Structure 1
């Protein structure tokens, strides 16, 4: 019996693109996706030839982005980003590759590949043929029937009606109705708001089809779902048309013309020779799969063929081979080599860790492993008085020569913490795009795996088993330390060249792993787009009122003096309150208070947990010390330090954000750390009042409201919480009503504490301490909470079971956080890992969402003509902007829309994201 295989070529293209590094063919054209696509098509044909394979086969591709569905609904696929710039020139070559295999390459204007596949499928079934669709696309699963199955080559898995029933809960012929109700965020199919996959399947099972569901809606029990079905009936019917596969598309070949006659040597050989694909040419000669691991391209293609990535073989690191570039001819040669390579590593050497103040000393480039150079620019003699300046090119000439290379879309620039380099280079007139960051890649793959961190030295040691030249090895330490600008050129070349060389090598290890370990999604959709955005926020900074800070410092000093008197009066003697050793002796030896525990040093512990417990027990001195410590920290960290951190040139404070500082994916900031300003205290507000707008502008603060509770309601599937959010109710009041049967100030306050505490995996003793009740009563509250909200209990159990099995948690965007201590034999260590694991998916998803909002904010504001509105800060769930007074009212809805829809189209939440926006002359006034 004839057996037709229909290959969804578009899926192959994007898989090949994301799984291979950016390669170029012998003409210098990007060809990584072409190479991977060719290898995968070869593998498929080879596997089918050895099995009981097809008698007929065709590869089906999308012709263009506009189809009849766009005419039905102008927003169809509107939110899809355009193809990557380096993929666009590869599409014609991919079509050429298909035809080189002597296979039909079918595409039709105005229709999607799915419609062509559906048309051929129906014609083949009518002719009595069997059909296999080579794809994993859920839309195509509508075609599955007794004579039709699907083949997922990624998982080497055949899928029939049972698979659809298990995954979606309906028959394949009902799947289109389910998709119409639930919508599709990726294709921007609207569906019916509030109806997800489970509800859609339940409705179709009960009523059999969409028409019956919509007809029955008016008679359904009053509910949000009923109202939504009635209100959005037209949109549901439109969605059904959008997801329906057209089976009468005009196709260029008859079924018989798709007969598979084997793959003749020509024109395949000519195509492979023209592209310079030597490994596949050698396979043709051998007539068997093979690899030439000496060829980096051959090793790279193994990524597309195996279940685990094979890495290219790296030559030994030899820092003596790096070149010092001191002439324009040398520089021009390196620029030409960089263009030909298509992928370069870049690193800057400066005289400061502060990217806003650093002088550019040199630039390092690497075009492949073992091939690197150092371009000195700002070196001076180690003897500033009489020494001779080493030979180097003028800054202006280097900038002019590198400008086009660094913005060439055909050349990928790799850095390790490239955000720093972006800020240094743009201050010197050089923009850099497109980029990859091996430090962020390391974090997205291995967050939590190692205590060493993701800096170059640590990662090079862990991944490459290489010990890098340390900074102090070339600059010295202590009084004899010199600036990098004074380092002799041979040593600077070895050090800088190694930075670029190691970065290139790390990229060869991380890029393949991203695809195979599920890291591509969070890296490409969340973190990589954020890098230039955060760099821009750092450069923008925020204005600070020095006089206000000075007054606050004086007030805090007076209040600390008053607290010191009270503390010493309670103690009965003077002592150094900042000395934990003296404080411990006062509390537990002199005053005889309970709870004193000595550490290995022999001193009593007086950390915040000890003092808070004592304060809860009514120990006055403990509360006074906590107040003193908070004022002392705020004074030293903010009111004193901020005055010194105001940039002399800009008059603004420029915090530094880290994309790898918090294990769950949240941004962290340093110099100054803006994450630790108290949120709800008067003291914290006073400090935020120091952050002000320029004249003619206001500060706008946009804050996600209860985002983690909203995500918990979605991720744990908690109908009472979800419905309360959908109705816009006070969630803590709703929880109080569920737990205590009444809502008043006390029960609401307790419900609020419980809502947040449960998400952090709090123990009975922890909750008892927060609510000031005994442990048994706290356990009863936890048990009642889980009874009322069983989804939360199931979420916690499933999360812990998953992390014990896999070693990591995942956010909705696929961000992995590893917990190596989850099976620790030490109870408190294990329990600490469990508490962190419970919250990591929720807090990490929250972080991913605000990051996506940040990456989209600039283009949205620009499109709205709001060029004066600038995003300055990100603190927890809040974004802070400086807005011209004339743009405030226009900016608010744009900012709110971007933040509220940041998860889409990748994720469709079944609860709304609410945004609270305030404005004022200062950050404090905006709240």
Structure 2
């Protein structure tokens, strides 16, 4: 029967499948001979999935995979620079190209290509023929060039996002209908294919012009009417180039074909042919799946090794369907899921709780996902109505929490089953409190962080929208906000199923998308050695917490209040009148209106602005702003620490349990919240006193081990500063040495103020400090500060060379790297305007700060096995310092063991040319230990 009305043609863009498969999976080789087969493996998985999904009333009656025959086509004869800027095909992909054709034929799908023409031209010819015959066409591709074919029964399917592209979607992208896409492309050009277009005219302007004049030829004929001189001249001067561009982007619906639509009729795969090919490729897993599907026995294939077995499948184009998720209400259902998970070897999971605080949250339910679209939710503690005095009120149809956790525990602790989570540390702590130690873990948040630090955030909603094209159900829809907000245990179970199971489903899809990219991004080592192993280490530290003495905090609050009152009196005396020191508006009026100081700026409201940097500048010329800064510092210490820390003491443990964010800073530095212990000031006496409230339990001491000047040491190594390297190797006072080099002052008997200035420059230069910044730090005139910096670079020219080289590298590549391979993206490095200076300073500092962060991470990861069996617990990490709680009698032994691990943490991955030195202290509280 000839192709016609009622028939449905699928045209698959073969090149898109190949390149997606190549980039989605790590390199794989055939075990028997080392032949690269990663792209072929992914390609076969995608074809098989396509066949499995092509069922039902919308299934194709005809289908073909269309390939490019070669790189040269008739377009190169028209324009010899067409696609001239395309990269060479990767060497390991080249031998796989013919195998993808063989794979297509093995699946019994039509495989077509034609010399001198692009795959898009063949697709265009077939789509036009099918449309004219009255049939439907689905082009499986996201290639924008094919969008000119959409309409009249032809649509596209972006399989990656499972998104259909019709006329409306084309109009949304190009601003014109499919029939005018080539006109817009001819004007806008295409840098990927090296189509020249009209210089300076982008898609938006191109669409406006075509909509105004109707079509490209009319526009070019009437170009002299255009009011904008530059645009008018561009169209007049480049008319022939634009016409050429149209010929390049116009697909050839008259491409001569040596086959017909009828030749593309869908056929069942021949089991013997297909399995022979898969067996020859040594694809063990897909061979079993295909054999099971076709009802035959799978061929015996030698084990391919861990590389292929561990590679996650290419993400499926399965639509999100919240109604399809399963609610687990019986042990029979749960057992069936556990069997599937055991057979598969990995599962995505998520916990639902009553709070974001892991130490206080109660477990409400657990969700699981084993494949895109296949997810479930196990409700454990949902409540309906008011609880009675005995704690009742549980909703019906829930399995007992203890029973479920007992059933899940073996799976969640099984080393042979990979558990995948988004922000896995949270879920690990929740389950640890339930007696389950989840391992091994993969974390999609950390996968994204390792790949894309500095480019975007790594929360699940943002990642889902960016990489899956899906907006998750907002939590506010379930629990509300503000005073009317409820806890998750009050959410009706059907709503909870849709929300929670979707989270697990998204997590699994993100893992399938992100995990294979580690190898291509050259960050596998970073993820596997610096990110993933840190999850259980931090979880145990956070669960342990640190004891905080409430009485000490109360006394400090009183002392700070008294000191603030004394400062207020001094400030009022200097001002000559009383005013509210905490009011920026009143302070501005005193400084700039009454006292007439220079440097003030008014905000949008007309009031003077008095941020810290303004006051720091003013403090170099008057005492009052400096006193206000001191008052603000005390006010912050009181409100942020001595008052609020008391609220963070856990009533059950008597300890404070901070939460560390592994992905909190682009450089790899940890951030802490609830409370933030990283920002406790240590430069002032009052700030240091806060640490007196952090105490050891009776019979124990706090042990503090702190890297000495680690970032300066790393700078000396990276920048190759021989004078600094030698000084560090000889144990010389680096700040005194710098002062001596800069100011010609002997080290012996040096004025402490001169050493302090050198120290400020040493540390400031790492952060790209300016003369302005140094002047503020030292409270000296700006010109003196700049002179110090100039002299510093003259004495240590290698530092300036490092800064220039790092900036140049960042501008060329869009990222910088630590010594351990952590990639820190610098998207704003080429920006202009006020942010340019900050971006440059950040790029210069990132390799140094990031390397220091990597070193302490390596130390923390090695620490637990190193001190196992010792009466010691690692409690806190603050910048370059680790704090332990140790039995007093074992303090010496533990201190030496910890010092050994920390000082050797860079080895063997990086051999530093300067020694790492760790200073140790101990005491009944943190202040005494540091």
* TM-score, normalised by the number of residues in structure 1: 0.68
Q: Within 2, Cα distance between the matches of 1:890 and 1:45?
A: 51
* Equivalent residue in structure 2 for 1:449, among 455, 461, 468: 455
The answer to whether structure 1 residue 917 and structure 2 residue 926 are counterparts is: no
Partner SS state of residue 602, structure 2: coil
- Other-structure match for 1:502: 506
Aligned: 1:626 with 2:629:
yes
Q: 2:430 aligns with which of 402, 424, 430?
A: 424
Corresponding position of 1:176: none
TM-fit CA distance, 1:465: 1.9
Equivalent position of 2:823 in the other structure: 816
Matched with 2:655 is 652
Report deviation, 1:785.
2.5
Q: Paired residue for 1:278?
A: 287
Equivalent residue number for residue 229 of structure 1: none
Residue by residue over 1:310-360, the C-alpha shift from the partner in whole angstroms, topping out at 9 and shown as x without a partner, is 953331111111111111001111111111221211110000111011100
Deviation at 1:783, TM superposition (A): 3.6
Relative to structure 1, is the Cα distance of residues 303 and 538 closer, same or farther in structure 2, using a 3 angstrom cutoff?
closer
Tell me the secondary structure at the aligned position of residue 634 of structure 1: helix
SS at match of 2:651: coil
Contact persistence 1:376–1:393 (CA under 8 A): yes
| Aligned residue in 2 for 1:459 | 463
Equivalent residues in 2 for 1:725-744, closer than 5 Å: 725-743=728-746, 744=750
Cα deviation 1:379-421 (Å, max 9, x = unaligned): 1114446966232111110111001100111211111111010
Give the counterpart of 1:43 among 33, 36, 41: 36
Count of aligned pairs: 662
Matched, 1:639 2:642: yes
* Residue from 392, 397, 402 that aligns with 1:396: 402
Which of 648, 665, 668 pairs up with 1:665? 668
Distance 2:927 2:743 in 1: 36
Provide the secondary structure at the position in 2 that maps to 1:616.
coil
Task: Kindly indicate whether the alpha-carbon contact (under 8 Å) linking 2:616 and 2:779 is maintained by their aligned counterparts in 1.
Answer: no
> What's the offset of the Cα at 1:568?
3.1
2-side partners of 1:891 and 1:623: how far apart? 43
8 Å contact from structure 2 (residues 530, 854) kept in 1: yes
Task: Select the residue among 812, 819, 825 that pairs with 2:832.
Answer: 825
Distance 1:535 1:393 in 2: 28
Of the three residues 351, 355, 360, the one matched with 2:358 is 355
Asked if the contact 2:315–2:509 (Cα under 8 Å) also holds between the matched residues in 1, the reply is no
Matching of residue 531 in structure 1 with residue 535 in structure 2: yes
User: Once the two structures are superposed, what CA deviation does each residue of 1:720-763 show, in whole Å capped at 9, x if it has no partner?
Assistant: 11111111111112222322232322442222122112111122
Structure-to-structure mapping, 1:301-316, within 5 angstroms: 311-316=314-319
Q: Tell me how far 1:269 sits from its aligned partner.
A: 6.8
Contact 1:365 1:500 in 2 (8 A): yes
Work out whether 1:847 is the aligned partner of 2:853: yes
Quickly say closer, same or farther: Cα 1:388–1:699, change in 2 above 3 A: closer
* Aligned position for 1:709: 712
Residue number among 833, 848, 862 corresponding to 1:856 in the alignment? 862
Counterparts of 1:656 and 1:311, CA distance in 2: 34
Q: CA deviation at 1:599?
A: 2.2
Question: How does 1:532-681 map onto structure 2 within 5 Å?
Answer: 532-618=536-622, 620-681=623-684
CA distance in 2, matches of 1:313, 1:325: 24
2:383 counterpart of 1:375: no
Is 1:407 the counterpart of 2:413 in the alignment?
yes
Question: SS of the residue aligned with 2:763?
Answer: helix
In structure 2, do the counterparts of structure 1 residues 43 and 442 end up closer, same or farther at CA, with 3 Å as the change threshold? closer
Alignment of structure 1 residues 125-524 onto 2, 5 Å? 275-278=284-287, 311-384=314-387, 389-450=395-456, 453-524=457-528
| Partner Cα separation in structure 1 for residue 422 and residue 929 of structure 2 | 36
The match for 2:907 among 871, 890, 904 is: 904
SS for the counterpart of 1:497 is: helix
- Looking at structure 1, the residues matched to 93 and 714 of structure 2 have their Cα atoms a distance apart, in angstroms, of 30
2:789 matches 1:786? no
> TM-score, normalized by length of structure 2?
0.67
Output the CA distance in 2 between the equivalents of 1:45 and 1:492.
39
Shift of 1:781: 3.6
The answer to whether residue 840 in structure 2 is matched with residue 837 in structure 1 is no
Aligned to 1:68: none
Displacement, 1:446? Answer: 1.5
What 5-or-longer segments of structure 2 have no aligned partner?
A: 1-21, 41-89, 96-272, 292-303
